[in-house]
């Protein structure tokens, strides 16, 4: 039996507003039947802090510090908490809610799509597991995504290894997520506001016990190409699909630029909460 054909897009390094606008345009094009299901890989230049769609910034995010160290802030179309995107592979998946593999249950959809990430880690020689949280998600009061695992996110030896977020619009699921190769914890915690240094240092210490990266587990430096190759094969195996490479055409790029201008580059949208 033939594996299902999906499009694969490697859009490389782009600025934060481009990355979010492209995910949203892909969702729109898929909803109109212009594209089959899609897996997209991308990275960020400059580094960026992405905020969950409903996340509050006032009193939580140090916007001045972010500007001072050259980290841009962008608001995602998906939920969840803040993620610092720097030395990582970011993925997005776009497919119909009515797809044979999908479920009305958001948690079940996470489980299915996480199989691709799970197999990607295995191709790197890392044994990862799907998280089953003990406590309700979002009850820790943190603003930092990697401080707690959601249902069926990836854990290695009990530590969160990949963070994902999802939205459903126009009958389409968009799930995107961060697969860190390494992480600058000092920089990450400089981007949040704390009542004092003691609270900040305690939060950093707890974070180190809860999150882990590919390079930490392997004990060596990986290249982005090595990680891309592993996770592309991982998605093919985990979801039983085959990829056809796709390049955005001029019309798509124009729509992305327009959405960047009107939405993702707008401070009114980014700092609406």
CA angle 198, 204, 209 (to 5 degrees): 130
Tally of CB atoms within 10 A around 54: 13
Active-site residue flag, 85? no
Burial class (CB in 10 A: 0-12, 13-18, 19+), 257: middle
Active-site hit among 66, 131, 145, 161: 145
Cα 37 to chain centroid, rounded: 17
Q: Tell me which residue has tokens 């030395």.
A: 87
DSSP letters for the chain: -PPEEEEEEEEEEE-HHHHHHHHHHHHHHHHTTSS--EEEEEEESS-EEEEPTT---TTTB-HHHHHHTT-EEEE-SS-S-BEEESSEEEEEEEEETTSTT--S-HHHHHHHHHHHHHHHHHHTT---EE---SS-TT-S--SBGGGSPPTT-EEETTEEEEEEEEEEETTEEEEEEEEES---HHHHHHTB--SSHHHHHHHHHHHHHHB--HHHHHTS---HHHHHHHHHHHHHHHHTEEEEE----HHHHHHHHHHIIIIIT-HHHHT--
Q: Which residues are catalytic?
A: 145
């Amino acid at each position: 039996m033939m594996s299902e054909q999906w499009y694969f897009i490697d859009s490389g390094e782009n600025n934060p507003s481009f990355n979010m606008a492209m995910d949203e345009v892909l969702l729109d094009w898929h909803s109109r039947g212009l594209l089959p299901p899609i897996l997209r890989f991308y990275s960020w230049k400059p580094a960026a802090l992405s905020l969950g769609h409903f996340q509050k910034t006032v009193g939580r995010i140090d916007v001045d510090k972010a500007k001072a160290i050259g980290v841009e802030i962008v608001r995602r179309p998906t939920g969840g908490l803040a993620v610092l995107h720097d030395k990582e592979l970011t993925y997005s998946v776009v497919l119909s809610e009515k797809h044979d593999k999908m479920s009305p249950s958001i948690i079940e959809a996470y489980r299915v799509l996480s199989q691709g990430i799970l197999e990607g880690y295995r191709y790197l020689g890392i044994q990862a597991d799907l998280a089953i949280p003990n406590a309700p998600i979002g009850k820790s009061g943190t603003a930092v995504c990697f401080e707690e695992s959601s249902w069926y996110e990836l854990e290695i030896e009990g530590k969160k290894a990949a963070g994902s977020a999802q939205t459903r619009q126009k009958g389409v699921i968009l799930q995107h997520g961060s697969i860190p190769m390494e992480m600058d914890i000092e920089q990450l915690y400089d981007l949040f506001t704390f009542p004092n240094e003691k609270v900040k240092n305690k939060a950093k210490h707890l974070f180190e016990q809860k999150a882990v990266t590919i390079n930490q587990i392997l004990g060596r430096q990986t290249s982005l190409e090595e990680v891309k190759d592993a996770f592309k094969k991982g998605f093919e195996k985990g979801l039983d699909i085959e990829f056809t490479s796709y390049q955005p055409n001029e019309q798509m790029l124009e729509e992305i630029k327009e959405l960047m201008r009107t939405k993702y580059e707008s401070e009114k949208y980014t700092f609406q909460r």
